[in-house]
Structure 1
Amino acid sequence: MSLMPKLSTILALSASLMAATDAEVISFLKKGIGGNPNITNVQIEVSGKKNLPAMSGWQAYFMSIEADVKQGGSTRHINQNGTYFVNGNVIAPELINVKTGERYNDTVSPDFSSSFYTKSNRISGEANATHKVAIFSDPLCPFCRRYVPEAIAYMAKYPKTFALYYYHFPLSTLHPAAVTLTKAAIVAEQEGIDNAVLHLYKVDVNASEKDDQKILNAFNKTFGTKIDLNDIRRPSVVNQFEFDQKVAQSMMVVGTPTVFFNGQKDASKNKYKEIKVK
């Protein structure tokens, strides 16, 4: 369930002639979300802001939103990120450049911190390669299964040109089996199995499967391994899994595959193909 208010048009934040403050933006969104009686304990923070040079006066607001949501007879806690655009006392849920057609929701993101480029996330290339590429992916996402192996195989051929960093981002609501698969892949990576991420996309399993043992059986069949339930519960595996999720949250990643090229979100996902390689 999305907590984002359905603001179909640009709305006034307040009657003030001055630029809206962070507090006003938060208050406006709280009123919109809190208007739903099934949503309580709404907490909203501004996690970052970025000016849009091509759209004078506009700023992208990166928001962290938490709330308790009642669905049926149960209540669950939801933590989501969202991007809004603010200009003076006006807020918009999306912003499109009418001259270029650029949809800023797709292209604007927080700056990619250098601390996210870790050795454990680098799956190919040299750390000092000319270009850094980061991929967030779910191994059971249909588009990912076509795109990611090709991208990995291509960039791996040019280790001085591309340093490729991979972040496990299973979409648990859509593909429950992906969570266990990614943890098994992390085990394989930590045990030194070559091309673990690349082989991950060959595992044949129902994306809706929730039986961890059945999922591991499919993984082990593909990898020729004997990874078990205890392995995917190792602290080192859990820590890496949680790190990848935190990076995704910091970078406002909501879908897969999401690609960053040299720290900037690559909506085309193909900027690496534009680089001349030797």
Structure 2
Amino acid sequence: MRSLMLKLLTTIIALSSLSLFAADINAELDQKVTTFLQKAVSTNESYTFEKAIILKKEEMKDLAGWMVYFVRIDLKLTKQEGKKISVNDIVFTNGKILSKDFVDINSGRSIKGSYSLDVEASAYNKEHLLAGDFNAPHKIVVFSDPLCPFCMDFVPEVIADVQKHPETFALFYYHFPLNIHPAAPTLVKAMLLAEIQGDKEIVQKVYKEFFDIKESDEKAILGIFNKALNKNFTVAQINQAHIIKQLDSDQELANNLMVNGTPTIYFDGKKDDTKRTYRNFIKESK
């Protein structure tokens, strides 16, 4: 009996040692990745490196011995005191080599797109519920820009589908105005103000208008919005602190999830590049 106990104790100690050794190796690899990223960022007069943060890491699906790292690099803007920008990226490493991407030899496609961060349950809140039943079994999260042509087609479609099957889906909408659409932030702030004032269908109304705004002046942009939707908002109203905070909050979530374009869709927490996975579950409600 004593001999058996000694063998068990020896095994436990050995396993514990292996676990500690693996943890040390992982910590060392993490440090290698962040140090490499710091050296890779060329400091210039516009910004300085602040830190590199590992958001998540996991073993690669198709390449043994390789890890995929989801990272965020924070940079301080030198000409705007207190301001910083964050750059999200995905990198791959086997401990000796770090790669920005791999390409599938058969399809010619980047494999970086097959990796993504999952949406946490906190994103499913009533403030962002656009359609469907909050307690529905399937959750859809959409990041969208009202001036994005692809969003103009997709968002009304997914809203209509969810409205037809509210017992199956809950649709959560997040604003993500793109830099390529200078008028989008103004339009989004006006949408947020309208919603605060009780217009719960403002998203549907805006997408129905199919806005194509070339203006860059905020007052002119707001004038187009007001005329189309029978509002009388002022520039001061849409730039109230609580509206800016709400827009920043939406964009922060998008940045944390490494959202780069619109529309970006998540179904039950997983990024859905097809944007059509939810339709497979419509049959459940029939």
Provide the TM-score with structure 2 as the length reference.
0.80
The alpha-carbon deviation at position 179 of structure 1 amounts to 0.2
- 2:218 maps to a residue whose letter is D
Give me the whole-angstrom Cα distance separating, in 2, the residues matched to 1:270 and 1:101: 23
Determine if the alignment matches structure 1 residue 190 to structure 2 residue 189.
no
Gaps of 5+ in 1: 1-17
Return the structure number with greater helix share. Answer: 2
Among candidates 175, 178, 182, match of residue 168 of structure 1? 175
**Alignment length (residue pairs):** 257
Moved more, 152-161 or 188-197: 188-197
Determine if the alignment matches structure 1 residue 246 to structure 2 residue 244.
no
User: What does 1:207-226 align with in structure 2 at a 5 Å threshold?
Assistant: 207-226=213-232
C-alpha distance 265-187 of structure 1, shift in aligned 2 (>3 A): same
Contact 1:39 1:67 in 2 (8 A): no
Moved more, 96-105 or 57-66: 96-105
Give me the whole-angstrom Cα distance separating, in 2, the residues matched to 1:197 and 1:186: 9
Contact 1:65 1:79 in 2 (8 A): yes
Query: What corresponds to 2:184 in structure 1?
Result: 178
Among candidates 144, 160, 163, match of residue 153 of structure 1? 160
The alpha-carbon deviation at position 97 of structure 1 amounts to 5.0
The alpha-carbon deviation at position 212 of structure 1 amounts to 1.3
Give me the whole-angstrom Cα distance separating, in 2, the residues matched to 1:164 and 1:52: 31
List per-residue Cα deviations over 1:131-159 (Å, max 9, x = no partner).
Answer: 10100011111211122221222222111
The alpha-carbon deviation at position 204 of structure 1 amounts to 5.5
List per-residue Cα deviations over 1:183-234 (Å, max 9, x = no partner).
Answer: 1111122222132112222445554422112111221222222222232123
The alpha-carbon deviation at position 106 of structure 1 amounts to 1.9
The alpha-carbon deviation at position 115 of structure 1 amounts to 1.0
Give me the whole-angstrom Cα distance separating, in 1, the residues matched to 2:107 and 2:222: 47
C-alpha distance 21-208 of structure 1, shift in aligned 2 (>3 A): farther
Contact 2:57 2:69 in 1 (8 A): yes
Give me the whole-angstrom Cα distance separating, in 2, the residues matched to 1:120 and 1:221: 27
Query: What corresponds to 1:131 in structure 2?
Result: 138
- 2:85 maps to a residue whose letter is I
Query: What corresponds to 2:10 in structure 1?
Result: none
Structure having the higher Rg: 2
Among candidates 80, 83, 107, match of residue 87 of structure 2? 80
Among candidates 256, 261, 267, match of residue 273 of structure 2? 267
Contact 1:202 1:222 in 2 (8 A): no
Contact 1:107 1:265 in 2 (8 A): no
- 1:248 maps to a residue whose letter is A
Give me the whole-angstrom Cα distance separating, in 2, the residues matched to 1:40 and 1:235: 27
- 1:81 maps to a residue whose letter is N
Determine if the alignment matches structure 1 residue 28 to structure 2 residue 33.
no
The alpha-carbon deviation at position 161 of structure 1 amounts to 0.8
Query: What corresponds to 1:46 in structure 2?
Result: 54
Contact 2:213 2:221 in 1 (8 A): no
The alpha-carbon deviation at position 117 of structure 1 amounts to 1.3
Give me the whole-angstrom Cα distance separating, in 2, the residues matched to 1:263 and 1:107: 15
Give me the whole-angstrom Cα distance separating, in 1, the residues matched to 2:158 and 2:108: 26
Query: What corresponds to 1:5 in structure 2?
Result: none
List per-residue Cα deviations over 1:226-265 (Å, max 9, x = no partner).
Answer: 2222321233322221110111011111111111110001
User: What does 1:58-69 align with in structure 2 at a 5 Å threshold?
Assistant: 58-67=66-75
Moved more, 53-62 or 183-192: 53-62
**Root-mean-square deviation over aligned CA pairs:** 2.7
Provide the TM-score with structure 1 as the length reference.
0.82
Q: Percent identity?
A: 36
C-alpha distance 56-199 of structure 1, shift in aligned 2 (>3 A): farther
C-alpha distance 181-91 of structure 1, shift in aligned 2 (>3 A): same
Displacement over 6 Å in runs of 4+: 73-76, 99-102
- 1:140 maps to a residue whose letter is L
Give me the whole-angstrom Cα distance separating, in 1, the residues matched to 2:48 and 2:259: 24
Query: What corresponds to 1:15 in structure 2?
Result: none
- 1:247 maps to a residue whose letter is L
Moved more, 52-61 or 222-231: 52-61
